[in-house]
Copies of this chain bind each other. A is one copy, B any other.
Amino acid sequence: MSLADAFHGRNVLVTGGLGFLGSNLAIRLVRYGARVTLLDSLVPQFGGSFFNIAPVRDAVVLNISDMRDANSLDILVQGRDYIFNLAGQVSHGDSMRDPQLDLAVNCVSTMNLVEACRKHNPDARLLYTSTRQVYGRPQSLPVNEDHPTVPIDVNGINKLAAEYYHLLYHGTYGIRSTVLRLTNTFGPRQQIRSNRQGFATVFLRQALRGETVGLYGGGRQVRDFNYVDDVVGAMLLAITTPACLGKVFNLGSEHAYSLVEFVEVLGKFCKFKSESVPFPDDKKIIDIGDYFGDFSRFRAATGWTPQVDLEEGLERTVAFYREHKEVYWQ
């Protein structure tokens, strides 16, 4: 069965539906003919915006509410075939500056969601998007799912706890959950105006504005990158593949790049300069060093491989943000 067939006419809830991942997912789900409800708190700094879903604004149901409120979730989960749990606080730096907010948004909210499913929709299929940050500093590369989890920021700890809640509710109550650990995801509809969604968004904004891109400590750190359309595809496969039930999977890419190399590729589409700058102390302390993930387990389970490489992805991304510069970065 194709993904389009799998989702046609199905009732889907997307938490964080106005955010980067959620809006891109929503657009795909609408194309597949799903009945889509988007839940978003629109906490200003979290990245959600109405503009993100402009292409499907009239084809989805919007529900503005905060998952820290358990009562609304008890209602909102009912009748859903699929629930994509994408909402969350993603900034590592913010998680250190306001750890209690991160705890509430990532742990309390997730607990509310799995409890709501247990009580009101135990047959729902759930997907949770976690982060490679749960591993901390890699002890060896590439990192697979058996690598020890030693988070080095509050966000990594809280996302890990949220993973565990999903897996526990699968093992204990049969709530059918899958966890994906995302790496650097980039593409249209990301909040690039702030510094909250990773260095790639900062570089992109600086490049688009023609500013000088600052590479911490020379930019030799290695990372892997996924274009958002590939991540949307991964989420759709993960939530429809029985072999993914109750499991955790890495995403990742065939090739890893240093930040210098990333900036070189970006330079094909934008005119800007870059320079090495000192690593700020507050960033250095939560920096994980080199990272790239092994996604062979997810590939074996679902057949997924990334289709859009860094160059093609950045070309599309730059084109999108150029077209919508007033909205995202000007």
- Cβ of B115 and Cβ of A108 under 8 Å apart? no
**Cβ of B157 and Cβ of A161 under 8 Å apart?**
yes
Q: Does A158 contact B (CB under 8 A)?
A: yes
A285 within 8 A of B: yes
Interface residue count for A (Cβ, 8 Å)?
A: 27
Chain B neighbourhood of A160, CB < 8 A: 161, 164
Whether the pair B164, A151 counts as a contact (CB closer than 8 A) is: yes
Per-residue CB proximity of A124-165 to B under 8 Å, as 1/0?
Answer: 000000000000000000000000010111100110110011
List the B side residues contacting A152 at CB < 8 Å: 168, 171-172
Query: Are B172 and A96 within 8 A (Cβ)?
Result: yes
Task: Say yes or no: is A12 at the interface (Cβ < 8 Å to chain B).
Answer: no
State whether B100 touches A172 (Cβ < 8 A): no
**Is the beta-carbon distance between A161 and B107 smaller than 8 angstroms?**
yes
Q: Mark A213-252, 1 if CB is under 8 A from B, else 0.
A: 0000000000000000000000000000000000000000
Known: A100-B111, A108-B100, A112-B100. A286 touches B172 (CB 8 A): yes
A153→B153 CA distance, assembly (Å): 24
B108, B153, B168, B286: the one within 8 Å of A103 (CB)? B108
Binding site for B on A (CB under 8 A): 70, 96, 99-100, 103-104, 107-108, 111-112, 115, 149, 151-154, 157-158, 160-161, 164-165, 168, 171-172, 285-286
Q: Which of B149, B157, B165 contacts A165 (CB 8 A)?
A: B157
Instruction: Say yes or no: B164 contacts A157, CB within 8 Å.
Output: yes
Question: Given that A107-B107, A157-B161, A160-B161 are contacting pairs, would A70 and B168 also be in contact in the complex, using a CB cutoff of 8 Å?
Answer: no
Q: Please, which residues of chain B bring their CB within 8 A of the CB of A149?
A: 149
Asked if A111 contacts B115 (CB within 8 A), the reply is: no
Interface hub of A70, A115, A172 (most chain B Cβ within 10 A): A172
- What is the CB-to-nearest-CB distance from A149 to chain B, in angstroms, rounded to a whole number? 8
CB contacts (< 8 Å) of A111 on chain B: these are: 99-100, 103, 154
Q: Within 8 Å CB of A100, what residues of B?
A: 70, 108, 111-112, 115
In whole angstroms, how far apart are the Cα atoms of A212 and B30 in the complex? 62
Question: A103 near B107 (CB under 8 angstroms)?
Answer: yes
Q: A107-B107, A154-B165 are in contact. Are A172 and B285 (CB under 8 A)?
A: yes
What chain B residues lie within 8 Å of A153 (beta carbons)? 168, 172
Q: Give the complex CA separation of A153 and B151 in angstroms.
A: 21
A165: chain B residues within 8 A (beta carbon): 99, 154, 157
Most chain B CB neighbours (cut-off 10 Å) among A96, A149, A168, A286: A168
* Bound complex: CA A171 to CA B171 (Å): 33
Q: Which of A103, A149, A151, A171 has the most CB of B within 10 A?
A: A103
CA distance A161 to B110 in the complex (A): 14
Which residues of B sit under 8 angstroms from A171, Cβ to Cβ? 152
Sampled A-B contacts (26; CB under 8 Å): A70-B100, A96-B172, A99-B111, A99-B115, A100-B108, A100-B111, A100-B112, A100-B115, A103-B107, A103-B108, A107-B107, A111-B154, A149-B149, A151-B164, A151-B168, A152-B168, A152-B171, A152-B172, A154-B165, A154-B168, A157-B161, A157-B168, A160-B161, A160-B164, A161-B161, A172-B285
